Structure 1
Amino acid sequence: MFFFAPIRSVAQDDPRVASEIDSTQMRIGEQLHFEISVDADSTALVVFPEGQTFRPLEMVKASDIDTFRNKDRVNLIRKYALTQFDSGHYTLPRQKVIVNNKDFYTDSLQITVNDIAVDTTTQKMYDIKPLAEVSRNYSGWVRYIIWAIIILAVAGALVYWFFIRKKPLTREEKEALLPPFDRALLGLKKLEESRYLIQSQYKEYYSELTNIVRAYLEEEVHISAMESTTEELVTKLEMMQQAGRLNLEKNTIDNFKSVLQKADLVKFARSRPDTYAAEEDRKVIENVVVRTKEAIPEPTEEELLQREEYIAELERKRRKKRKVTIAIAAACVLFVAAGGAVAYYGFTQVKDTVFGHPTRELLHGEWITSEYGYPAIVLETPKVLKRTEVKLPDALKQIISTNQTFTYGGLIGDFHVSASATTFREGVEFNMEDAIQGSVKTMEQQGAKNIIVKQDEFTTPSGKKGIKVHGSMDITLPGSEKTVKGEYIILNFNEKGAFQQVIIVHRQDDRYAKDIENRIVNSIDFKNQ
């Protein structure tokens, strides 16, 4: 059945907000469909409820807004799927709808969530199954391993690309690696194929022609040719010829001098030779290059050996420089990556991630939600709590019907959590204060000293009320007189005629323990039996 709940009576032009629900009765886990409709001007700005504003009911899904137009007005409808997994009577709170910055509210509704009837006469009852050992789950590490591989692969690729690989040489670089003789002939060949003479660019033609031969003489003959004048350069060649260091014919030197003088006239006196003469001058320079190559005496064996040793030494230095460069690059990559991680996460987080930290691994590991004892207490913990046999004194055996205790870690370890459920024999009057004092005394027997006790009321996120006992204490380390500061919290509940207790103990200086404690505490709930 549907319930229609208008907000108020308004004028025709005012917005109208209404709500309806398909039923006020549901079974555990079923879904109710709650609908909010707004009738307003087509230019109105309407904001519907978003998120979990329907608590204690849980919003499973919100539909897209349906729009229906009627002349200058618009009817907006949005539907919500709501559910609840605990039986009881709940109030669906009023929902706020904003129209043109003005608040409108739907009516609150009473919702009843019913248990699912179970016929215990036909349904067999089974004992609680023992804990099953499972292999450790490493799925959480896969993500870190993949990211580490990706980062290392990228860093390795960058180092290889910029420092290790032999980069393909450009045409200019390949030409620069040629021997001086081959480079000079190649330059003269390019000059022959150039368009300088076609475009009457004689100055550019002769400048490049003389630069080619001067560069060749400077590299091959080892004289300062580029900075010398024509007369100085010719004089140096004649002196080398006379000293027997360059077996160059006098006719070749004279032809070379003639071309250099003509080039000076073209460059500085704006002389314009004919094209044929310019081409002949290029041939003269080519002949000078070839004759000079032939005129250079062959190196002695000692010179060749010295050259080989020099080349080998250069190669050793090059390899050493390459290794140093790679090492520096890798160190820089690691330093930048580490610095970025420290800047973003903090030094402590990075240190604990790299070198490990016991409780950090608990916090970021795979958590398990499970039920413990009867009546069941529901907890989310980083590790499964294991059943622990507790020896009860004879006096307690007379009043306790059942006691089920589940623990992880010891009181003097990095982190301890326990959950217990206790039922009492018929007619026994339970005193929670006595139970709390007994828990504190048990911690003293296990090595705790100087226990400071504080007591407050406590309510779980699901609305269950209890007593919270908390404080600090000194924990004596086994085998020594040394103590460390610890903190504890004892949560006590009296639900469904039983006494449920959750105890958490950790070291005071543990920076991750508080987050674990809060997550466990916020997960506490009680199973409907």
Structure 2
Amino acid sequence: MNYNMDIWSLMARERQRVFLLALCLLSLSLARAQEGPVIRSEVDTTNIRIGEQIRFTVRVEADTTAQVIFPEGQTFAPLETVEALKTDTTIRDGRMELIKTYALTQFDSGNYLLPTQRIEVDGAGFFTDSLRIAVGDVAVDTTAQKLYDIKASREVEAPPMRLWPWLLGLAVLALIGGGVYYFFFREKPLTEEEQEALLPPYERAMLNLKKLEESPYLIQDAFKPYYTELTGIVRSYLEEEIEVDALESTTDQLITKLEIMRDAGKLNLEPGTLIQFQKILQTADLVKFARSRPEMKQAEADREAIRNIVERTHEAIPEPTEEELLQQEAYREALEAEKRKKRLRIAGISLAGVLVLGFVGAVSLYGFQTVKESIFGSPSKSLLEGEWIASSYGYPPILLETPEVLLRQEVPEERLIKAGIQDMDVFMFSDPGAGVSIFARSMAFADREKEPDFAQNVEEVLTQMEAQGAKNLITKQEEYETKSGVKGLKVFGSGRFTLPDSDEQHEGEYTILIFGGKGFMQQIILSWRTDNTYNEATIERILENLDVKLSV
């Protein structure tokens, strides 16, 4: 009995320990869940040189449901933000860790304070520590790299602007626009016949009866034209107003059609009106075909009777339904749209014709190439007539005036060492559209007493041109003198050259200019297409202003 009681007592104590342990674990979890966010920041270095970058990292540890907002934009002034990397997220033990890294830099030397940054977590603001960043200068070896004064700016005259092509084009466009407006879009005054044609059928019929009353037919005993016009007025009115085939019907046929419309309820006319109308039509038939001559009073009475018939018919027509009115409106809109389309088609055809005639006339006067360049432009023309740039390139300097600035080209240092060259500056500009290429190279030999070998250099250039696809090269050479009196070697000629990034070849010319003295050599290579006159003028201008300095 005592043995059983000890077992039950031991089991109760064990359950109590398990309960207490679970309670502790739960308390720790709740405490950790209720723990606030933790913000840490760091940089990979506090010392950089001008233009180098530092990595500023912010770490935020918070609950997985927290909303965290990092700073954006240029909030790191005086440091500049180069890039903000994507946020890295890690979840561990029910907590979330966010890592945000910024790349920062500065282009002026000095000591800068990286300001505190505000991190927003669930609407509450938390701030990082401020840090001191030192930015040092880049060391320059002035003994190996010579320094020179900044060159003074030079005034360059703008190329004269040729206004006549623009004035001619504006005049032609104004003439075309005026013609199109006058003939197709101008509101033309309507003639009397057009104004009458626009009147409603009833008003037009009454107007024509008034004109018939004022006509000299009855005075001249011209009963046939009088009755012909009288019946024509009423027949035209009936055909338009009640849409009955009246002009092509005989008297009996017309009366029968009107009776059918009256019986169908489409025309509310009294029987006496139709009988009177039939008598007038029969009298008109006798006058027109049997040469009958009624009295003048009878003719006047018949005209007044027709007037009454028109009025009664107009009054007897039922009012159109809303559906019929909509159909009429849709028809009128469709008709107007068709008229507009017709006018636009005529205007388009006329405009195309004028443009074709103008183009043919301009080609006959100025030539196809000039007209083409005026309309579509020309890369060669743009180069020649653009704003030119005068600058010096390399050391010893080569002075050039070119349509565009020449860009420096990188030269592998091992090639310089192998060729016995201490320093070499290479500059180049190429416009494949215009077919113009400009190359300038200035080099200083490692042996300051070495004389340049012009012939060998020319051979190397020609070999390189052939390796790049040049064929049928014709070579000439002569002495060349710059505008300042510096003498050198000029090698020039023609050939077929391959366009960049293409297998297509074109006819072209080239010029190689070489200058030099003890310890240095300067080289200028010009090549251009010869299928237009603008390239020739461009090369001439470059050669006229080219100069070199021979002092090392």
Asked if 1:365 is matched to 2:389, the reply is: no
The one-letter code sitting in structure 2 at the alignment partner of 1:263 is: A
Partner of 1:519: 537
**SS of corresponding position for 2:321:** helix
CA distance in 1, matches of 2:214, 2:435: 84
**SS of corresponding position for 1:271:** coil
Partner of 2:526: 504
8 Å Cα contact 2:426/2:441 also seen in 1: yes
CA distance in 1, matches of 2:159, 2:539: 26
CA distance in 2, matches of 1:193, 1:455: 100
**SS of corresponding position for 1:223:** coil
Partner of 2:194: 173
Asked if 1:253 is matched to 2:274, the reply is: yes
Partner of 2:254: 233
Asked if 1:310 is matched to 2:332, the reply is: no
CA distance in 2, matches of 1:451, 1:386: 23
CA distance in 2, matches of 1:133, 1:527: 17
Report the Cα offset of residue 286 of structure 1.
Answer: 0.5
Q: Quick one: which of 201, 208, 219 aligns to 1:198? A: 219
Report the Cα offset of residue 132 of structure 1.
Answer: 5.4
8 Å Cα contact 1:385/1:408 also seen in 2: yes
- Where in structure 2 are the equivalents of 1:261-280 lying within 5 Å? 261-280=282-301
Q: Quick one: which of 463, 467, 475 aligns to 1:455? A: 475
CA distance in 2, matches of 1:189, 1:409: 85
Partner of 2:310: 289
Report the Cα offset of residue 304 of structure 1.
Answer: 0.9
More helix by share: 2
Asked if 1:468 is matched to 2:492, the reply is: yes
Partner of 1:103: none
* Cα deviation digits, residues 275-328 of structure 1 (max 9, x gap): 3332222111111111222333x24xxx51221231243245346546755775
Q: Quick one: which of 430, 455, 462 aligns to 1:433? A: 455
Partner of 1:21: none
8 Å Cα contact 1:504/1:517 also seen in 2: no
CA distance in 2, matches of 1:433, 1:340: 58
CA distance in 2, matches of 1:513, 1:377: 29
8 Å Cα contact 1:372/1:420 also seen in 2: no
8 Å Cα contact 2:398/2:547 also seen in 1: no
**SS of corresponding position for 1:281:** helix
The one-letter code sitting in structure 1 at the alignment partner of 2:322 is: L
TM-score by length of 1: 0.51
Compared CA separation, residues 241 and 171, structure 1 to 2 (3 A): same
Compared CA separation, residues 438 and 221, structure 1 to 2 (3 A): closer
CA distance in 1, matches of 2:297, 2:429: 101
* Cα deviation digits, residues 111-151 of structure 1 (max 9, x gap): xxxxxxxxxxxxxxxx995455999x899699888877777
Report the Cα offset of residue 368 of structure 1.
Answer: 5.0
CA distance in 2, matches of 1:442, 1:198: 108
8 Å Cα contact 2:407/2:428 also seen in 1: yes
Report the Cα offset of residue 269 of structure 1.
Answer: 3.0
The one-letter code sitting in structure 1 at the alignment partner of 2:334 is: K
Compared CA separation, residues 133 and 366, structure 1 to 2 (3 A): same
Report the Cα offset of residue 186 of structure 1.
Answer: 1.2
8 Å Cα contact 2:493/2:511 also seen in 1: yes
CA distance in 1, matches of 2:432, 2:292: 104
8 Å Cα contact 1:163/1:322 also seen in 2: no
CA distance in 1, matches of 2:500, 2:231: 93
CA distance in 1, matches of 2:431, 2:270: 102
CA distance in 2, matches of 1:473, 1:218: 81
Report the Cα offset of residue 265 of structure 1.
Answer: 2.7
Compared CA separation, residues 202 and 378, structure 1 to 2 (3 A): farther
Higher-Rg member (1/2): 2
Report the Cα offset of residue 365 of structure 1.
Answer: 3.4
Unaligned runs of 5+ in 2: 1-148, 444-448
The one-letter code sitting in structure 2 at the alignment partner of 1:365 is: E
- Where in structure 2 are the equivalents of 1:89-104 lying within 5 Å? none
* Cα deviation digits, residues 259-280 of structure 1 (max 9, x gap): 2232223222333444333222
Identity among equivalent positions (%) equals 34
Report the Cα offset of residue 200 of structure 1.
Answer: 3.5
CA distance in 2, matches of 1:141, 1:418: 31
CA distance in 2, matches of 1:245, 1:469: 97
8 Å Cα contact 1:412/1:476 also seen in 2: no
Compared CA separation, residues 470 and 229, structure 1 to 2 (3 A): closer
- Where in structure 2 are the equivalents of 1:387-398 lying within 5 Å? none
TM-score by length of 2: 0.50
Compared CA separation, residues 316 and 183, structure 1 to 2 (3 A): closer
**Greater displacement, 252-261 / 428-437:** 428-437
Report the Cα offset of residue 254 of structure 1.
Answer: 3.1
Report the Cα offset of residue 183 of structure 1.
Answer: 1.6
CA distance in 1, matches of 2:304, 2:523: 106
CA distance in 2, matches of 1:240, 1:514: 82
Compared CA separation, residues 243 and 157, structure 1 to 2 (3 A): same
CA RMSD of aligned residues (A): 6.0
Q: Quick one: which of 192, 217, 233 aligns to 1:212? A: 233
Q: How many residues align?
A: 381
Partner of 2:243: 222
CA distance in 2, matches of 1:310, 1:241: 24
8 Å Cα contact 2:492/2:509 also seen in 1: no
Unaligned runs of 5+ in 1: 1-126
CA distance in 1, matches of 2:254, 2:332: 34
